[in-house]
Amino acid sequence: MKRLLYTVACSLLAGNMMAQSQVPGYPITPVPFTSVKVSEGFWGQRLTASREVTIPLAFSKCEETGRYTNFSNAHKHLMDPTQEFPDKGWTFTFDDTDPYKTIEGASYLLQTYPKAMYKGRPLTQYLDSVIAVIGSAQEPDGYLFTPLTKAPSKPHSWAGTKRWEKVEELSHEFYNLGHMLEGAVAHYQATGKRNFLDIAIRYADCVCREVGLGENQVDRVPGHQIAEMGLVKLYLATGDSKYLNQAKYFLDRRGKTTRKDMYSQAHIPVVDQDEAVGHAVRAGYMYAGMADVAAITGDSAYLKAIDKIWDNIVSKKYYITGGVGARHNGEAFGDNYELPNADAYCETCAAIANVYVNHRLFLLHGESKYYDVVERTLYNALIAGVSLEGDAFFYPNPLACASDMDYARKAWFGCACCPSNISRFIPSLPGYVYAVKDQSLYVNLFLPNTANLLVGGKKVQIEQQTGYPYDGTVNISIGKTQAKEFALKVRIPGWTKGSPVPSDLYAYVGSAKPAATVVTVNGVAIDCAGNITADGYLTIERKWKKGDKVQLTFDMPVQMVAANHAVEADRGMVSIERGPLVYCAEWPDNDADVRTYLLNPNATFKAADATLTTEAGNNFPIVTVTTSDVQTLSYDAKHNLVVKNGKLTLIPYYAWDHRGQKGGMEVWLPVDVTAASATPRLAKSLGDNGFFNR
């Protein structure tokens, strides 16, 4: 039983050394990233940067910034209780999670590169040394939370004076548990070693013993969710249902304990929620945890709630870049249609959480619309969060930036949730490409790869060649296959079908419409639209054999998008897209301040291959988009309006801020003069990061 559950867990966790198998409750099984080899193309570059730059950088920052010292200080206190190590200032009660998340990313990396090195020694050895330091901070009963353990009489002001006291506020004891569980299970899967897993189990057992509705327990829910997802992973890895029950307890008690507010999605019971509110990362992790518990327990009330919340997000609270969380204040979802651009918060972690939610909803419902959301978030809001080189990160991801603003990616932050989250997300990306159900094989993302997977329990090799997201031709070939008759289900993206998002929040405007997607099977054309099934997938059912080839040609014209009139911030403006990529106007490519352009509503655009040279001198292939159907507005010395014909060049949004900070950036461009401006956008302060307003 345990073995079975461990195998099962592997698929859910997107990384394993074992064969894919069904996750209990989820009707669709993701093909784990270990079965999908990606070595080139757009994502090949990102994966290399993650392996060679991001993960080593995150570890070195954990060293430099005292993340490990917190554990060793806690250990020193445990050895000699007269020694205390009070917080010296700029630290957070969730600093322990940065090592946990980076270990998770490194574990994924190890599954593809088992011989990876860090600072001249095997990465596995380095991880063992870090895990030993982490374990040394564990109290004898399993409790592991350095802010309290290292200085019990002078703890961090967010930690409380005794365990669980402030866990519904800011201590993050359960948040730390959640990330520890995710990291520990990934490490166990990657290495087969139990060192981190056993530490995590001891902490989880301590929580299960002390927190609940029983006698001698305290009734508390996480201030910051993620323990729910982590506990489900631990349940799947161990087969011990107490972890699943604890996850369910956390969800069911939400809104019923002393914490009852929208910021932490505790204003009403989770099953009664129908609108995305409050802190966007907390919310996303909670919805993902609800999907996991719903899938396993069959609890339809959870599912109904997440379905409604999903609908609210994609219809009213979703940025064109795929970002979520409009407000700096509270790092939170705004009201319906509240989607400011320069002031957008769109935390990188919230984009990651949004991918987790939509991936799970796909696994539950099997509709392509969830992957349209995954794709939009992935290619825009999420990867904008990390530089092309993998060495710098955005925390908020605004859709406009003032020309005088000192806003740029940074190598690390005091609150480093986003860099460490990127460290764990990017290496898991190949796990989002394929999925299977019975005799169906889903192709959800397009990138060059070769994969070995199981359809109906039988081995199938599949390969993709493509220059996506810049080129719309995707060649899929079937390699050796034991499975004969199965349905190949290829996602036909919403952007090819006149639907930027699965709602009326955005619509394509202007005359450029993609030609119908051309599909051939072994060179013979088939009717794409006519073979799209109700789930949104092009479904090709046949007897497959080695050498069979499917070619898709997605037409990729440059399209203009308008927002629903209810979105005040985007009125009179359009955003520009090509394929899955949202474009932006940035200062290095344009003569006038990018805020002062007025686009013709019938503008036509040209796309061209180009190279983006970063400040560090590295070159990255991109496709730029240009138009001459544009004017610039300015004032002359007498304050008369001057209108000149101009030319506008746009680059993919993810690529902005690689060439210094000497000017602005805009995603939404005016087509109506009432939305245009003859003066540059100057910085109102972006304000402090919202976590100061928790």
**Residue 224 binding partner per list Zn ion, ligand FUB, none, with a CB distance cut-off of 5 to 8 Å that depends on partner kind:** ligand FUB
355 touching ligand FUB, by CB under 6 A: no
Q: Which are the contacts of 123, defined by CB distance < 8 A and separation ≥ 6? A: 106, 109, 110, 116, 117
Residues from 289 through 348 that contact Zn ion (CB under 5 A): 347
Scan for tokens 């036509």, then name that residue.
Answer: 604
**Residue 313 binding partner per list ligand FUB, Zn ion, none, with a CB distance cut-off of 5 to 8 Å that depends on partner kind:** none
**C-beta of residue 442 within 8 angstroms of C-beta of residue 456:** no
Interface with Zn ion (CB under 5 A), residue from 62, 190, 283, 349: 349
Nearest alpha-carbon partner for 654 in 325, 355, 388, 401: 388
Residues from 390 through 419 that contact Zn ion (CB under 5 A): 417-418
413 touching ligand FUB, by CB under 6 A: no
CB of 95 to Zn ion, least distance (A): 13
CB of 395 to Zn ion, least distance (A): 6
**Residue 593 binding partner per list Zn ion, ligand FUB, none, with a CB distance cut-off of 5 to 8 Å that depends on partner kind:** none
691 touching ligand FUB, by CB under 6 A: yes
382 touching Zn ion, by CB under 5 A: no
**Residue 691 binding partner per list ligand FUB, Zn ion, none, with a CB distance cut-off of 5 to 8 Å that depends on partner kind:** ligand FUB
For residues 402 and 384, give the distance between their C-alpha atoms in angstroms, rounded to a whole number.
Answer: 17
Strands (E) in 591-675, as ranges, are 597-599, 606-613, 619-635, 641-652, 665-666, 668-670
For residues 392 and 53, give the distance between their C-alpha atoms in angstroms, rounded to a whole number.
Answer: 10
CB of 360 to Zn ion, least distance (A): 20
62 touching Zn ion, by CB under 5 A: no
For residues 199 and 282, give the distance between their C-alpha atoms in angstroms, rounded to a whole number.
Answer: 24
Interface with ligand FUB (CB under 6 A), residue from 95, 331, 391, 586: 331
505 touching Zn ion, by CB under 5 A: no
For residues 149 and 76, give the distance between their C-alpha atoms in angstroms, rounded to a whole number.
Answer: 10
CB of 445 to Zn ion, least distance (A): 23
**Residue 415 binding partner per list Zn ion, ligand FUB, none, with a CB distance cut-off of 5 to 8 Å that depends on partner kind:** ligand FUB
355 touching Zn ion, by CB under 5 A: no
Q: Which two tokens stand for residue 634?
A: 């300015």
CB of 342 to ligand FUB, least distance (A): 20
**C-beta of residue 105 within 8 angstroms of C-beta of residue 136:** no
CB of 382 to ligand FUB, least distance (A): 15
Q: How far, in whole angstroms, is CA 275 from its chain's centroid?
A: 20
For residues 95 and 480, give the distance between their C-alpha atoms in angstroms, rounded to a whole number.
Answer: 47
Residues from 415 through 454 that contact ligand FUB (CB under 6 A): 415, 417
CB of 417 to ligand FUB, least distance (A): 4
Closest CB to ligand FUB among residues 92, 544: 92
Burial class (CB in 10 A: 0-12, 13-18, 19+), 123: buried
- Helix residue ranges per DSSP H, 13-96: 41-49, 55-64, 67-79
Q: Which two tokens stand for residue 525?
A: 């054309």
158 touching ligand FUB, by CB under 6 A: no
Nearest alpha-carbon partner for 506 in 559, 556, 469: 559
Residues from 222 through 261 that contact ligand FUB (CB under 6 A): 224
- Tell me which residues touch Zn ion (CB under 5 A): 347, 349, 417-418
- Tell me which residues touch ligand FUB (CB under 6 A): 94, 224, 281, 331, 347, 349, 415, 417, 691
